[in-house]
Amino acid sequence: MTDNSGEGFMEALQDDSVAVVLPAAGSGQRFGAETNKLFANLAGVPLWLHAAARLGSRREVERVVISVSPSDLGCFQDQLRQSAVNCNVEFVIGGRERSDSVLAALKTLGSDSAIQWVAVHDAARPLVSDDELSNVFGEVPRTGAAILSTPISGTVKRALAGRQGCETIDRRHLWVALTPQVFSLGLLKQAYGKHNGRPATDDAQLVERLGHQVTLVQGSAENLKITFPEDLLLAEAILARKSKNVAN
């Protein structure tokens, strides 16, 4: 079935047409552990393996490319070997900024003709659900770019530059970007080709700069990024509740 109203084709993603890119080359400064936060234990499994396993087991996913820092590579390989994850995982060396790490993974994908789509997902987001993945994979063919995101729930203030005080921002159209962020491979490569080191806090921003429409797909606030130690406690609690629901 094709959709003539947009640029894309409203076909479901084909099996094995997606490469997952997991940027994991940070150092977890704010988490404050001696080693990368991604090695922390979450429900008996290293943090990063949660996302790798969930994404890697999808029928749409053919490759999982993980950007790591040179000093962490050995530990990632050891933890993978000791795990039950049996999808194709490749490691590449990441860079100084998250965008450098994503670019390194994109270069590894080269011109793999089997890959039509790239799903970039923070390795530090262990709780992405299968429903969220189905929704964002389902939406991306429409425009070639779709990201999980969640509406802002609090009241948003902007501090007034150079003065005391603040003003309130209308939150009705404000969303917080989550991951995965899914793009056609060609589009994301084009966006990175024009990056030129201009600061960007997510991949969708680079695609927006091309003037290309990015679709917001509502995800769950539970798809949190582990940044501070207390985030890990919250993730443990969410996982415990989820496994209880499955058991009942």
Residue 27's binding partner among ligand CTP, Mg ion, none (Cβ under 5 to 8 angstroms by kind) is ligand CTP
**Looking at beta carbons only, is 193 or 229 nearer to Mg ion?**
229
**Looking at beta carbons only, is 13 or 235 nearer to ligand CTP?**
235
* Binding region for ligand CTP (CB under 6 A): 23-31, 67, 94-98, 101, 122-124, 225, 227
Q: 54: number of CA atoms within 13 Å, CB side? A: 24
Footprint (CB under 5 A) of Mg ion, residues 20-79: 26
**Looking at beta carbons only, is 10 or 80 nearer to ligand CTP?**
80
CB of 23 to Mg ion, least distance (A): 9
CB of 12 to Mg ion, least distance (A): 34
Determine the straight-line distance between the first and last CA of the chain, rounded to whole angstroms. Answer: 39
**Looking at beta carbons only, is 124 or 206 nearer to ligand CTP?**
124
What is the rounded CA–CA span in Å between residue 38 and residue 195?
27
Residue 16's binding partner among ligand CTP, Mg ion, none (Cβ under 5 to 8 angstroms by kind) is none
What is the rounded CA–CA span in Å between residue 67 and residue 93?
5
For the sheet with 61-68, list strands across it: 89-93, 61-68, 18-23, 117-120, 175-184, 145-151, 215-218
CB of 123 to ligand CTP, least distance (A): 4
Q: Judged by CB under 5 A, which stretch of 18-26, 125-133, 140-148, 229-237 contacts Mg ion?
A: 18-26
Please compute Rg for the chain using Cα positions.
18
**Helix residue ranges per DSSP H, 82-202:** 98-109, 130-143, 185-193
Q: What is the DSSP letter of 187?
A: H
Nearest residue to ligand CTP on Cβ basis: 26
**Site of interaction with Mg ion (CB under 5 A):** 26
